[in-house]
Structure 1
Amino acid sequence: MKRRLKIILVSVVAFLVTILIFIGNYFYGESVKRGSEVELHREAETVNANADTNEESVLATAKKWYSEQEPVRLTQEAYDDLILQADYIENETSSKKAVILVHGFRKEKADMGDYTKFYYDRGYNILMPDSRGHGESEGDYYGYGWHDRLDLIGWIDQLITDYGVEEIVLHGNSAGAAAVLMTSGEVLPDQVKAIIADSGYTTMKEELKHQLKHLYGLPSFPLLDITSLITKVRAGYFFGEVTAIEQVKNNKLPLFIIHGDADDLVPTWMGEEIYEAAGGDKELWLVPDVGHIKAYEIETIEFEKRIDDFLSKI
């Protein structure tokens, strides 16, 4: 009888483990593996009812200007041998300044195109990488900013070594914001002068917990824990490692955090917590009635003014 109960118990445990592994692999495919088309939780569209013709013209002109550029293609061999791609727009003024524009989750370098004219007009050379697992860069998983921080250091070194850049600004959106925030906690060359983070999340685990609730109505335990273990095996990191909130504690650079106060994709409280935790000189702009990475689109002129004010201090 005892032997039979033991067999039943072992069978039940094996069945449950199999189910958990299956579920973990499913969520790995949905959240970490490259190529998944799962729909993220989305917020309602926002519009700027107060936008005037001049404001709309600024963004339209910026889009047109970017569409007419012919960037140089740069490559980087990452620390784990992946070949990463980036576009480089060299400023005709022979400036020694550069900005690295870092796109968000399941986006690509061209999605940062709206910002290029703004920085070009201010004398910056512009580097627009495809993050690992995105666009034309290699990689079969999304790094959520963690492994990407090391890739960014590679791009920084390339700008300094190959182009003699003396002043570098990092500007990221969403997961790109998380990436530049995580980079801020590393030992960086003196040429890196400032960081701009628009709509970044505190930690990967908190963001996935938020998405899990909205997409599936499911609790985070044990799904995220199992998926984290599978991610460690398949992609080389645990979810718990991926934390902007811890990295910014070591920041020593001027930091400008932007977050819409109507952001439901990456909740606004995350931007506030990052600001509170960050070291160094820091500013926080909570943009009224604006959703996820919509500040430049909705408040174009104010956005440019605030970035100008921030950059003038570095």
Structure 2
Amino acid sequence: MSKVKKVLLIIISVVLVLALATIGVAGNYFYNLALNPKTSKEKVFGTKDKSVEASNVAVSNWITDKSGYKDAFIDSIDDLQLHGYEIINTNPSKTWVITVHGYMGQGKEMEGYANAFYNMGYNVLVPDLRGHGKSEGKYIGMGWDDRKDILSWIDYILQKDSDANIVLHGVSMGGGTVMMTSGEDLPGNVKAIIEDCGYTSVWDEFSYQLDSLFGLPEFPVLQSASLVSKIRAGYWLQDASAIEQLAKSKTPMLFIHGDKDTFVPYSMLDKVYNSANVEKEKLVVEGAAHAQASKTNPQLYWGTISKFIKNYIAN
């Protein structure tokens, strides 16, 4: 081999090593930014106002101060201790609503939803998703690993009452979680699922946010971050698809989205809705930004949900 070829080979090798190292750094950076629960909301969303909008932070303390909750605990299939708020209605009911919080949120921030379901006469279970609130976990599941945790919470309820009726409800990442749960082998006790502003897939959402927040293309950051996610969290970003799970669903579903949502774009609504071959309804809340549908038009929001549940559960 000539000296020129050797020099070229060395240069190419160095460039490849540097490129791979750069991609690896970018992947680790994005993983830590997006999937590390210790990352501050403001660092992810840019401003405090945007972080509040994205996680739908509670404005009162109904769950912790007024609901009469008790702490509930289960073990996940990978041996994490998970926490939830269990709220038994003072009027005896066989119906439970599991209402699931959003990205970088926690169960107690779902107080408005929990209170509304309680006032409808239902028992309520509000989990802290893995890595959030009082639940253990070193990474954010983005609904994918969380779907298995919701299965465990369903079992928790059925151990109390094998004849219980169960409704799943989730907002933002919680919406993604219940959609991903819908494709699992659910017991017949799960009568209805309500998703509010969930995403088509984690890949789609991260790709959208890379462009929206940072002006970056998905390649090569997401490919690298997906590898890091597989190594550190145990799942590929490509695995976490609400669309693929919905295609397997057998449970009636209500899909809700605000038409002014720019965090999980409104355009995702039709994609998830069309993926589900079940009895289904769609609610578009005009003027609602991300996770704000229940506040923008509460009468429409809760009226639609109440009617939807009653279609499948007799009081």
Would the TM-score normalized by the shorter structure come out above 0.5?
yes
Which residue number in structure 2 is paired with residue 51 of structure 1? none
TM-score (norm 1): 0.91
**Sequence identity of aligned pairs in percent?**
38
Does residue 40 of the first structure (1) align with residue 38 of the second (2)? Answer: no
**Off by >3 Å, runs of 4+ in structure 1:** 41-45, 62-67
Does residue 8 of the first structure (1) align with residue 11 of the second (2)? Answer: yes
Does residue 19 of the first structure (1) align with residue 22 of the second (2)? Answer: yes
Q: Which amino acid aligns with 1:261?
A: D
Task: Provide the rounded CA distance (Å) in 2 between the counterparts of 1:301 and 1:87.
Answer: 26
Does residue 81 of the first structure (1) align with residue 79 of the second (2)? Answer: yes
Q: Which amino acid aligns with 1:28?
A: Y
What secondary structure, in the 3-state scheme, does the structure 2 residue paired with 1:187 have? coil
Which residue number in structure 1 is paired with residue 289 of structure 2? 291
Alignment of 1:96-245 (within 5 A): 96-164=94-162, 166-245=164-243
Deviations 1:223-275 (A, max 9, x none): 10011011001000111100001111111111000000010000011111100
Deviations 1:16-63 (A, max 9, x none): 111111111111100112211223268999xxxxxxxxxxxxxx9x95
Q: Which amino acid aligns with 1:139?
A: G
Which residue number in structure 2 is paired with residue 49 of structure 1? none
What secondary structure, in the 3-state scheme, does the structure 1 residue paired with 2:267 have? helix
What secondary structure, in the 3-state scheme, does the structure 1 residue paired with 2:198 have? coil
Deviations 1:191-211 (A, max 9, x none): 100000000000001100111
Question: What is the CA-CA distance between 1:148 and the residue it aligns to?
Answer: 0.3
Contact 1:43–1:291 (Cα < 8 Å) also in 2 = no
Q: Provide closer, same or farther for how the CA distance between residues 78 and 211 of structure 1 changes in structure 2, counting only shifts above 3 A.
A: same
Contact 1:41–1:214 (Cα < 8 Å) also in 2 = no
Aligned residues: 299
Q: Which amino acid aligns with 1:287?
A: V
Q: Which amino acid aligns with 1:40?
A: F
Task: Provide the rounded CA distance (Å) in 2 between the counterparts of 1:3 and 1:121.
Answer: 76
Task: Provide the rounded CA distance (Å) in 2 between the counterparts of 1:43 and 1:243.
Answer: 29
What secondary structure, in the 3-state scheme, does the structure 1 residue paired with 2:129 have? coil
Task: Provide the rounded CA distance (Å) in 2 between the counterparts of 1:267 and 1:191.
Answer: 32
What secondary structure, in the 3-state scheme, does the structure 1 residue paired with 2:123 have? strand
Q: Which amino acid aligns with 1:171?
A: H
Task: Provide the rounded CA distance (Å) in 1 between the counterparts of 2:175 and 2:184.
Answer: 15
Q: Which amino acid aligns with 1:174?
A: S
Task: Provide the rounded CA distance (Å) in 2 between the counterparts of 1:260 and 1:36.
Answer: 27
What secondary structure, in the 3-state scheme, does the structure 1 residue paired with 2:311 have? coil
Deviations 1:120-156 (A, max 9, x none): 1222111000000111111111010000000000000
What secondary structure, in the 3-state scheme, does the structure 2 residue paired with 1:279 have? coil
Task: Provide the rounded CA distance (Å) in 2 between the counterparts of 1:145 and 1:64.
Answer: 25
Q: Which amino acid aligns with 1:12?
A: V
Q: Provide closer, same or farther for how the CA distance between residues 35 and 64 of structure 1 changes in structure 2, counting only shifts above 3 A.
A: closer
Q: Which amino acid aligns with 1:21?
A: G
Contact 2:257–2:269 (Cα < 8 Å) also in 1 = yes
Q: Provide closer, same or farther for how the CA distance between residues 144 and 285 of structure 1 changes in structure 2, counting only shifts above 3 A.
A: same
Does residue 30 of the first structure (1) align with residue 28 of the second (2)? Answer: no
Does residue 275 of the first structure (1) align with residue 309 of the second (2)? Answer: no
Contact 1:120–1:126 (Cα < 8 Å) also in 2 = yes
